[in-house]
Amino acid sequence: MENIKITDKITEEQIKRIQNILKNTDKQKINIKGAIEWFDKVYIKQISKFIDINDKILCDCACGYGWFSFAYLLNRENNKAICIDLDKRILEIAKSISEILEVRDRIKFKIADITKLPLNSKSVNIFASIETLEHVGDNPELQMKYYYGQEKDKVMMMFKIQRELQLMALEEINRVTSEAVIIATPNRYYFKDHHDTGLKFVHWMPRYIGIQYSLKFSKEGYFHAPLHSRFLSHNGS
C-alpha cells in the first residue's frame, strides 16, 4: 500500500504563498512540508498509539507558527485546535498560514500565558507544549548579569519564582486537559545542545563557563544545566 503523507494535498501554490508570508521571519528558509510531516511523525502519530485522536480538540500552547496544529488538522476533518501564544505578530502569521492551508475555520487563536489559560476545565482533549516549559519565568537579561558575576541574589530569587511559575503552568495544563498531554523539553542527558546553540557539552558546564564558551562561537543560549533541571521534582533529586 502506498504511503500517503498528510502534506500530499498541499499545492505548490500554497507553499509559495506561505513562503511569501514567512520571508521576513526567522523561518524564511523552513521546509514547510517537512516541518508539518515532522510534527506528524514525532508527535501526532505517537500519541495516536495511545488514544483515538479523531474528532478531538487540541490545545497547542506556545504554538509559534502553528506547525503542530496543522499536522493535527490536515486530513483529519473533524479535529479542532486552539492555538495559544504570547506573541500577537506570530499568531497573526499562523492565522494567515491556516487560511492558506484551509483549516482556519477549525482553529481558535488566543493570546495568553501558559500559567493562566483562558480555557474551561477539561475543555480540551489533548494539550501540547513543545519546548516551552523551560522558558516559563525565564529572564535572560538577568541571567547574563549572573554569568558575569553580578546580581547573584536576584538570579537565585528568579530561579525560585521560575519554579513556582512552572508548577503553575503544569497545574493549568492538568486543569484544562481531559485525555492526553504532550510536553517536550530539551534532553539534559544528551551531549549536544540542540535547543539553542548547537554546541556539544555546553549545557553540562557551570552556567558562567557555558556562556563564555558559547560566546566564543558567537552563540547565545540559556539551556538549563542538569543541576538546574531538578527544580520541578518534589525533593530536588
The region of weakest confidence among 65-69, 118-122, 154-158 is 154-158
- Set out the domains of the chain in order of their start, with CATH numbers: 12-136+180-185 (3.40.50.150)
* DSSP letter (8 states) at residue 224: P
Give residue 219's pLDDT. Answer: 67
Percent of the chain exceeding pLDDT 70 equals 79
* DSSP letter (8 states) at residue 223: P
Percent of the chain exceeding pLDDT 90 equals 55
In the predicted model, is pLDDT for residue 208 greater than 80?
no
In the predicted model, is pLDDT for residue 222 greater than 60?
no
In the predicted model, is pLDDT for residue 221 greater than 70?
no
Checking DSSP bridges between strand 80-85 and strand 57-61, what pairing results, if any?
parallel
Alpha helices in the chain (DSSP H): 12-22, 32-39, 45-47, 67-73, 88-100, 140-147, 152-176, 207-216
Average pLDDT over residues 83-107: 97
99 Cβ contact list (under 8 Å, min separation 6)? none
Give residue 24's pLDDT. Answer: 83
Q: Which residues pair with 58 in a beta bridge?
A: 81, 126
15 burial via Cβ count (<10 Å: 0-12, 13-18, 19+):
middle
Retrieve residue 232's grid coordinates: 520541578
SS3 145: helix
6 neighbors 36 (Cβ within 8 angstroms): yes
The region of weakest confidence among 15-19, 49-53, 132-136, 202-206 is 202-206
- Torsion sign (Cα): 73, 54, 106, 184: negative
113 neighbors 138 (Cβ within 8 angstroms): no
